[in-house]
């Protein structure tokens, strides 16, 4: 039996660079569909379209309008093929509206080498059982954000003040993460993981919707099975916008994805 | 009299979304033209093409092939217009070869507000006169890298071990920066500044050319006149690639640009 997440990102080839997909209502948060899930949808279409290059190395997405559940089209336009990497432009479209326009460079981790050497240290994080589960969220929050039923999230107890009206002001928000259905992480699902936590602005005392303008994700290695550690940080609010840096660490203690997004400050 | 840099990024409108430019040999480094300068060229074409939105907020560029001095074409395709921001696809082309494909979201800092509130701290840096000038580089280095004559760079004396064969291994490289001709920084020139320092891998003991696969720059405010402080850091070398994070601080102590690139590890 297949996993829920795999069916939700499934794309159907319509010929040429055209794919169709049915965007899952289960990834709604407020009025729109979660941008990370959408990035994984695009990532899955690119994987289908770039033979021999299954893995996203760098994906840069500019978000143009909010997506709604239901049918959508993905258009892929390969800009360079050959050598160890390929680059393509990709768009997500519903009706006449472009939802996302993105560029992606793909390769093959099995050929690039799966080794990670890093000076980065895994952030300090209490054990999973000592963290705050997303299942404690009130019913009205879960109704507003159905995506919370897609995964288990266990928040760092020292960075969850936003949930009880006492944000730390530190601009750091971390959680353990795994998909609810037991599907293990892979380079495609990491594109979703980097945008799955609540906006880091919650911990800066700015609750509310923070629409992404641009998000670039770098997948740095194939993740090991098990819980992922996801850390968001923002250091700079300026001109009505803020950046959100995300790191994803796998259960083997490796930094497997890095992303940065520019988002609008919640009103 | 105009500034050298303005003449080097000047674009000529050929009609529709097409512009022409003459890429300056003065920005060569090794076999190719500096990617930051090329990003500023694209940024200048976008500024010309997006009335009322003169400022790059987020620019994501995927580098497909090395550019050479001489004529090049810039093609702009607006993907969304209206509201406070506009998003466009842009490509740099020489003959049949696409050099760079990029996406950019532009706005107007005068309308977005020029205020910067940040928890980020300006990195520790000795005064300009206590730093190591790029003019001490040997003649053969300057011949290899004519771009070094485009700017004054004063390196942090504790992060310049690479220049004397003793890299620190810390993965941090910082310098004061200003254009040689006295042109003050602006949001367009910041697109060049984020890729103007030597690769941070020099300080990791990996000398040599580090081709950029992808670079995303966020300009966060209009820079004040004067010296800029530029800091590069890498924390993760994996699968033959590394990320290079760049921060640019202006003379008023504000974080005016942030960028991250994914580049190939030098051989």
Q: What is the pLDDT of residues B36-45, one digit of tens each?
A: 999 999 999 9
Nearest to B147, CA basis, from B26, B23, B3, B33: B26
CA–CA distance from B171 to each of A234, A236, B177, B236 (Å)? Answer: 21, 22, 19, 9
Cα separation, B28 vs B37, in Å, equals 10
- C-alpha of A146 from chain center: 16
pLDDT band of B116, cuts 50, 70, 90: low
Query: Which of A5-9, A24-28, B119-123, B180-184 is least confident?
Result: B119-123
Q: Mean pLDDT score of chain B, rounded to an integer?
A: 94
Task: Report the 10 Å Cβ neighbour count for B23.
Answer: 22
Query: Would you say B8 and B2 are in contact if contact means Cβ atoms under 8 Å apart?
Result: no
Mean pLDDT over residues B113-142, rounded? 86
Contact residues, chain A, for B170 at CB < 8 Å: 119
Chains A, B: CB contacts under 8 A, how many? 163
Mean pLDDT over residues A189-205, rounded? 94
Q: Mean pLDDT score of chain A, rounded to an integer?
A: 94
Residue A101 β-bridge partners: A62, A91
What backbone phi and psi angles, to 5 degrees, belong to A161?
-55, -35
Cα separation, B141 vs A2, in Å, equals 58
In chain A, how many H helices and how many E strands? Answer: 5, 17
Q: Which residue has the tokens 């379209």?
A: A49
Mean pLDDT over residues A153-174, rounded? 92
Q: Which residue has the tokens 């279409």?
A: A45
pLDDT digits 0-9 by tens, A199-246: 999 988 888 888 999 999 999 999 999 999 999 999 999 889 999 999
Mutation for testing the B interface, residue in A60, A201, A239 having most B CBs under 10 Å: A239
Cα separation, B59 vs A245, in Å, equals 16
Task: Report the 10 Å Cβ neighbour count for B117.
Answer: 11
Pinpoint the alpha helices (H) of chain B. 4-8, 35-49, 109-112, 139-144, 187-193
User: pTM for this structure?
Assistant: 0.96
Nearest to A25, CA basis, from A140, A149, A130: A149
Position B163 pLDDT exceeds 70:
yes
At B190 the three-state DSSP class reads helix
Mutation for testing the B interface, residue in A54, A218, A223 having most B CBs under 10 Å: A218
Query: Would you say A72 and A99 are in contact if contact means Cβ atoms under 8 Å apart?
Result: yes
Total number of residues shown for chain B: 267
Q: Scan residues 35-64 of A and list those with Cβ closer than 8 Å to B.
A: 57-58, 60, 62, 64
Cα separation, A38 vs A57, in Å, equals 17
What backbone phi and psi angles, to 5 degrees, belong to B133?
-75, 145
Nearest to A219, CA basis, from A45, A108, A55: A55
Position B113 pLDDT exceeds 80:
no
Q: What is the pLDDT of residue B223?
A: 96
- Measured over the CA atoms of residue B200, residue B202, residue B205 and residue B207, the dihedral's sign is positive
pLDDT digits 0-9 by tens, A62-112: 999 999 999 999 999 999 998 899 999 999 999 999 999 999 999 999 998
- Domains with residue ranges and CATH for chain B: 4-110+124-264 (2.40.160.210)
Task: Report the 10 Å Cβ neighbour count for B169.
Answer: 10
Q: What is the pLDDT of residue A16?
A: 96
Q: Which of A98, A239, A255 sits opposite B79 (nearest CB)?
A: A98
Cα separation, A154 vs A165, in Å, equals 18
Q: What is the pLDDT of residue A115?
A: 65
Higher-confidence residue of B87 and B82: namely: B87
Burial class (CB in 10 A: 0-12, 13-18, 19+), B2: exposed
pLDDT band of A48, cuts 50, 70, 90: very high
């Amino acid at each position: 039996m297949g996993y829920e997440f795999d069916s939700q990102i499934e794309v159907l080839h319509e010929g040429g660079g055209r794919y169709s997909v049915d965007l899952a209502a289960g990834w709604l948060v407020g009025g729109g569909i979660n941008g990370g899930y959408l990035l994984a949808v695009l990532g899955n279409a690119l994987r289908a379209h770039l033979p021999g290059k299954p893995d996203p190395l760098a994906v840069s997405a500019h978000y143009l309008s909010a997506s709604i559940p239901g049918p959508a089209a993905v258009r892929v336009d390969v800009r360079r093929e050959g050598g160890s990497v390929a680059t393509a432009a990709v768009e997500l479209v519903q009706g006449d509206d472009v939802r996302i326009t993105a560029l992606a460079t793909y390769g093959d981790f099995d050929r690039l080498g799966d080794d990670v050497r890093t000076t980065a240290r895994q952030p300090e994080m209490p054990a999973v059982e000592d963290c705050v589960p997303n299942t404690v969220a009130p019913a009205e929050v879960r109704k507003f954000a159905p995506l919370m039923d897609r995964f288990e999230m266990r928040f760092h107890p020292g960075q969850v003040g936003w949930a009880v009206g006492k944000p730390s002001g530190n601009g750091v928000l971390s959680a353990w993460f795994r998909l609810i259905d037991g599907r293990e992480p892979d380079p495609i699902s990491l594109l979703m993981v980097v945008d799955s936590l609540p906006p880091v602005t919650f911990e800066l005392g700015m609750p509310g919707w923070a629409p992404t303008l641009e998000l670039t994700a770098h997948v740095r290695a194939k993740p090991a099975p098990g819980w992922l550690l996801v850390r968001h940080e923002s250091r700079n609010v300026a001109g009505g916008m803020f950046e959100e840096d995300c790191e994803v660490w796998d259960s083997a203690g490796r930094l497997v994805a890095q992303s940065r997004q520019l988002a609008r400050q919640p009103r």
